Structure 1
């Protein structure tokens, strides 16, 4: 009787003689013949690696957010209304930025509140100025870096131009309520006209003009400042003279100052 060969090659799987001719496919697509898998495992691994998306490399870049700054690069403060508690707007924002340049730590929000006033007072005390918490010509000049430098020179030139503009209307008749030299001028119409020629806007009435600027002493007055009596204003021309429009003089004249007026600066 013939005996079956029981010798096998070491490590080799047996393929049944009656295995179907069609290969069985695995889920991965490799052909299986009996228990022998056709195809290299390394080839399958390579195909799997090519089809899987690469994981993004971890970022080494760190984004940091700085705390909001209270300091802002400031431009020179423009001459104009005195700044004080309760005032709001871009002029106050510029003031706050200027104070921050001098060591304050204010929020630049355009609101002249308690903190801004305290910062103004501290600046005034540190610079030998009158400590009143208000920003008029002297404090503004100090914040701009010079109270007697280019800022003062510019203001002096502006003041002379204001006086010249007022004098140019000498002889124009007085007309209450008018701001047009062609129709005559009242007192505040003349002062408003003169300031307009140098690009400055004043309140319309004499009372508004007196309240809108900084009250100064006569010794501090410079040509171009406002001279104010109750219900009346004029332009200080220097040497105790004023250019004004009044009904008693019939219109615009230059004359000697009388009584005890108040001097108001918009420098």
Structure 2
């Protein structure tokens, strides 16, 4: 009769591995069957998940340098004063600049009543001297405060010699009409003039168009003191005017003596200029 061997080999008992039929989950989600780790490795007795492979990082383009802000274009480039009677492309640019500020002007290059009024409105709205003349301050304001000659550049104003020569030419033109009779509302060279007809005629000979009446001429000009007056400027009395000839003289078409004459200034007139 066979006897069962109830003796066991000496040493530690061996427990058979049993399959539970169900996979367990270890650290990092690796499948463990019994005590065997599948798809992982032991490190120091602890199961660790394999490091994830980093996704390729797309290259980040460095931001492009922002383009420099463009310098605002200047509305007016000419250093010449613009006033009632001025004409040409500079006046066209002035009219366009005023239209951008809310005016409604025809861009015709003629500085007349409407342009004169628009300049005064702009000067009033921007705290400038309200004289209707586009000089350095008004021009600089229309240019956004920029210097008329460009960045870091200034443009000199019309030279004194040029102003002096044109002034003398105005006086000479007025003198050519000495002897013409006085006639209200007239402007007929060699025949007859009234006071503002003579001043308009003399200025036109040097390319400056003035408005017709004495009141319009006063409104379009800049008042100055007698010490600032130069030959070619205008001497003004209530209801009368003439061309300043220098010293204490004026060339004018007066009711008395009824003709164009050169004579000594009288009373306390004011002086205006279109320089």
What is the CA-CA distance between 1:152 and the residue it aligns to? Answer: 2.3
Higher helix fraction (1 or 2): 1
User: What's the counterpart of residue 155 of structure 2?
Assistant: 145
User: 1:92-130 deviations in whole A, cap 9, x for unaligned?
Assistant: 46999xxxxxxxxxx788865369845x6xxxxxxxxxx
Contact map agreement 1:175 1:183 (CA 8 A) in 2: no
The 1-side partners of 2:165 and 2:137 are apart by: 19
The 2-side partners of 1:189 and 1:92 are apart by: 27
What is the CA-CA distance between 1:73 and the residue it aligns to? Answer: 7.6
| Alignment pair present for 1:216 and 2:218 | no
The 2-side partners of 1:95 and 1:255 are apart by: 44
The 2-side partners of 1:266 and 1:156 are apart by: 12
The 1-side partners of 2:213 and 2:256 are apart by: 19
Q: 1:137 to 1:65 in 2, by over 3 A?
A: closer
What TM-score, normalized to structure 1?
0.54
| Alignment pair present for 1:227 and 2:229 | no
Alpha-carbon RMSD? 3.7
SS at match of 1:191: helix
User: 1:221-256 deviations in whole A, cap 9, x for unaligned?
Assistant: 110001111110100000011000012112111111
What TM-score, normalized to structure 2?
0.53
Provide structure 1 residue ranges, at least 5 long, that are not aligned to the other structure.
1-61, 83-88, 97-106, 121-131
Larger Rg: 2
User: What's the counterpart of residue 204 of structure 1?
Assistant: 212
Q: 1:262 to 1:94 in 2, by over 3 A?
A: farther
SS at match of 1:190: helix
Q: 1:253 to 1:72 in 2, by over 3 A?
A: same
